[in-house]
Structure 1
Amino acid sequence: AKPYKVITAADLARDKVKLPEFYGDNMLLPEGQTADYLGHAVAILLFDSFPAFKQAKSLLQFDNTLLRFGEKTPFVSD
């Protein structure tokens, strides 16, 4: 159930990917930064098949150890 590719904010910046304005400046949350909103995506996982995706989703969905959290920071506001 391992993805064949994991895309992060660092990958988007390195490859100079320009996304539509709809996604804003931070489509994916860069490592070490405060999320712009609750549920901010941290990566895109690509799988070869739907069964592999479904298995990974089942394993990862409620895994509280999957992400590493830093110190609490205030919410971002405009």
Structure 2
Amino acid sequence: MALWIRLAGEAGLDQEAAIKVLESREYDADAVRQDQKPARHLGIRGVPGYVVQGTYMAFGSKSPDEPTALLHQAWAETVA
């Protein structure tokens, strides 16, 4: 765990916060798998995967314009 804490500090992260996260079970393998279930249901098999309002999706590496366009489209339909 010392390595992860050192790397967190080198990356500019708060080391005390890193210790708390690493000591918690919030991000263990089971928790991550639970988070993956809804993504798999939507057909997401890798990263990045963008889902906006459960309707608009984009998969794979995209230019910044593509996820932005999804957000604009979802917003336009929300306020319409």
Give the TM-score, by structure 1 length. Answer: 0.25
Higher CA-based Rg: 2
Answer 1 or 2: higher relative contact order, Cα 8 Å, separation at least 6. Answer: 1
Larger helix percent: 2
